[in-house]
Amino acid sequence: MRRSAFKRRLRDELHGARPPRAAEAERRAWDVVRTAHSERDAVRRPAAPRRIAVAALAAALAAVLVLSPAGAKVGDWIGDVVDPSPDATPSTLGSLPADGRLLVVAPGGPWVVSDDGARRRLGDFTDATWSPGGLFVAAVRGRELVALEPDGDERWARPAPGRVSTPRWSPDGFRIAYRSGGDLWVAAGDNSSAGRLARGIGPAAPAWRPGARTPGQVVAFSSGRRVRIVEEDTPRLLGMTPPGPVPRELWWTADGRRLVAVSTSEIRVHGARGRLLRRMSLRSGVSATGSALDTAGRRLAVAVEETSRRASEVLVYRLDGRGRPAPDRLYAGPGSFEGLTWSIDGRVLVVGLPEADQWLLVSPRAREQLKEVSGIRRKFAGGSRAAARGTAPVPRPPGWCYAEPPDPSAQGVPACSTGAAPAARAGGPGR
């Protein structure tokens, strides 16, 4: 027998062996654990006795680990409690101004920020997006699409023929559309299958229509100077838009009746089959650098930049027919804006200011109440030297989700919000 095979066999036999009266040893160890824990909660002991109690606790747990294979699970629990991941660090962001969890993509990887400001880095990924209820995260790692839990645990990873970008989860949670190279692919949410849906798509991230049946999910994507609307399962072309500027972002309203295409020069609102309903041109001399639609589908925030004097503003368009046809100006300032994201309740809009290394948390209902978060690159550096030096791209929040995933059977619960696409994906042909 080869030495390596012998070592593997010996290791397996030792791991599988169960010493005599192991169950009694486990029971005694857990009795010690419970007793030490109850005493620690009830009494504040001096430092020296407390160290003795901790030592006894450690010894008892060590006995469990040695005497039983079940100790492996106990060891995992100890690692989570005593030696937490260095990525689970307290944040200097402070509490979020709205309920829920914020997903942040930074040069060092994506992070999840809780409403109390606590944050956790998910790993070495370049993009990420929430599943509809926030139960999972779809992330990008080179030529891989990866499904994660919000604590960073990987559920599965799927290789792709080209570099993966802009993943988007379908409303039913059973599909993920993503770009692989220049093509559009769709993978099953359980990683059971994947296939190419279209070749040579435009720069906008794919957009799933809310409210479609399962099977029968519908996705929109740009193709040349048109936007195609396809039933993914068949696949069957349901409609397409008239020729126009290439969109940098696509949004469906919450009722699934209107498709909004935002290009660098104008905003177009289409019907569910692509018919042009409304066209809103940006004024001369400005270009859109990002947009975000609130979860109710009523307010579209668009960041526009006046390149001649390096100044920007955030405009809010009403899509529900209420208010003035002209947009409201929510905020204006020097430099460029990017990374727009609405909170899940629509009370707060996140605006990234790269030149100032800041986020602005703006409330449309009380415009005078602005919250500035400075030094945002360093707060999400995550080991990135460029971010620590302040030379990396500003962290981008691609979505805001529920603090706890809602009941899957609940009716009328909106999906998590989705933020603006990365600034690098703004398409030159869109003008």
Structure tokens at 394: 């500003």
Q: Is 425 buried (19+), middle (13-18) or exposed (0-12) by CB count in 10 A?
A: middle
pTM over 0.85? The answer is no
User: Which of the four pLDDT bands, split at 50, 70 and 90, describes residue 385?
Assistant: confident
| CB atoms near residue 235 (< 10 Å) | 13
- Any bridge partners for residue 341, and if so which? 350
Q: Which helix (H) or strand (E) holds 293?
A: strand 286-293
Residue 266 backbone dihedrals phi, psi, to 5 degrees: -160, 170
Is the pLDDT reported for residue 13 higher than 80? Answer: no
The answer to whether residue 1 scores a pLDDT higher than 60 is no
Q: Work out the pLDDT band at 47, boundaries 50, 70, 90.
A: very low
Structure tokens at 266: 């104008």
Let me know if residue 33 belongs to a domain.
yes
Q: Residue for token digits 């080991």?
A: 383
Q: How many domains is the chain partitioned into structurally? A: 1
Range of the domain at 37: 12-82
Tokens found for residue 177: 């559309």
- Token readout for 161 is 């023929």
281: left (phi over 0), alpha (psi -120 to 50) or beta: beta
Residue 162 contacts residue 171 (beta carbons within 8 Å): no
User: Is residue 63 one of the residues assigned to a domain?
Assistant: yes
303 assigned to some structural domain: no
Task: Look at residue 212 and tell me if it is in a domain.
Answer: no
390 lies in some domain: no
Residue 59 confidence class, pLDDT cut points 50, 70, 90: very low
Whether 284 is covered by a domain: the verdict is no
Using DSSP, state whether 375 is helix, strand or coil. coil
305 lies in some domain: no
pLDDT of residue 78: 28
Cβ-contact 263, 249 below 8 angstroms: no
Q: Is the residue at 354 inside a domain? A: no
Cα separation, 97 vs 412, whole angstroms: 24
**Per the structure block, which two tokens stand in for 334?**
């020097």
